[in-house]
Amino acid sequence: MMEGTGPLKGIKIVEFGGLGPGPFAGTMFSDMGADVLRIDRKGAGDPPVTRIDARGRHAIALDLKDPADIARCLDICDKADVVFEGFRPGVMERLGLGPDIMMGRNPKLVFGRMTGWGQQGPYAHTAGHDINYLAITGALHAIGTQDKPVPPLNLVADYGGGGMMLVVGILAALINAKATGKGQVVDAAICDGATYLMSLFYGMKEAGNWQDKRNANLLDGAAPFYDTYQCADGEWIAVGSMEPQFYALLLDAMGEPSLGEVKQMDQARWPELKMRFQEIFRGRTRDEWCKVMEYTDICFAPVLSMTEAPKHPHNIVRGSFVSVAGVVQPAPAPRFSGTPSAIRWAPAPVQHDVADSVAKWAEPST
């Protein structure tokens, strides 16, 4: 198994196994060089190689209802810089693994908590999913068509507002712990993080520059120059020519410079311009539009499928996708000039020799 090379090399992290944004955070930590030990519940199956968010971890299984395994778990966490979990509020406390106990034994410990609704609040103890967390932030209301809100996969709440906010919070707390010798609890509620991501739009709304309805604003698909269009072959393209100079390039490439006589920001004219754009873009295939617009300042890109994306020249040059154990998957991000991130190994089976696995995880990095 490859030793970590990233900026978190030598950092010891314990991840309590779960689903969704928690494992994504664990993937980021591992890719950035941390030694991550995942503790699964007894009886958990081995992750398949396609379970990309399980890559690069040591993994053991413990019976968290067995006092002996709880004691073993606490001993493991004594050696950690970071522990994080994604259970409902109160679960870790009932198991005897709450932050007060762990941090009492290991004062430098950073204890990350990933929940949907947070540790307190009327919804805190109820179930939910990305679509629900997104709903109460105002974000879901703002995304979609005029007819209905449309969930944007589970990227905005679970992974943006959840997993990535957990990573940021833990790293900030870790820096503080290294400086002060004192750890702390990081409460990463997905609904909080998704709300935080909406800061720009709440600011625009307060300034009177954002209508509180869908498909009526600059960035939500209402503008003809910031939308997707279907081509003659049924494929799609995306244009984002907001700045006047880029908009002029767009109209020239479309063969319709005279459309520039209509003021670009005249929202009353947007519907008729949108219909004209749709008609023009349906006149050629996606590849034909790529030949005209790609690699220019128009702010243009083809809308690629997940099958196509790894084969695009830009993604190939950037190395944005890699193959590990025969599975094509996104490469680590962001990039570091001196301590590059790396995928250390494919998802590994849960190890039955707990003592040996913990010893390998705990040994100092060279």
Dmax over CA atoms of the chain, in Å, equals 78
Q: Are 76 and 358 in contact (CB under 8 A)?
A: yes
The size of the chain, in residues, is 366
Going by their DSSP bridges, the two strands 82-85 and 110-115 should be labelled as parallel
- The CB density around residue 232, as the number of other CB atoms within 10 Å, is 13
**Are 149 and 214 spatial neighbours (Cβ–Cβ below 8 Å)?**
yes
Q: What is the CA 360 to chain-centroid distance, rounded?
A: 29
Stretch (H or E) spanning 197: helix 190-197
**Is the Cβ–Cβ distance between 90 and 122 less than 8 Å?**
no
Catalytic-residue membership of 352: no
Q: Which of 129, 141, 187, 312 is catalytic?
A: 129
**Secondary structure (DSSP) of 80-148:** -SEEEE-PPTTHHHHHT--HHHHHHH-TT-EEEEEESS-SSSTTTTS---HHHHHHTTTHHHHSB-SS-
Annotated catalytic residue 312: no
| DSSP, res 296 | S
- Name the active-site residue from 81, 158, 192, 227: 158
Which amino acids are annotated catalytic?
129, 158
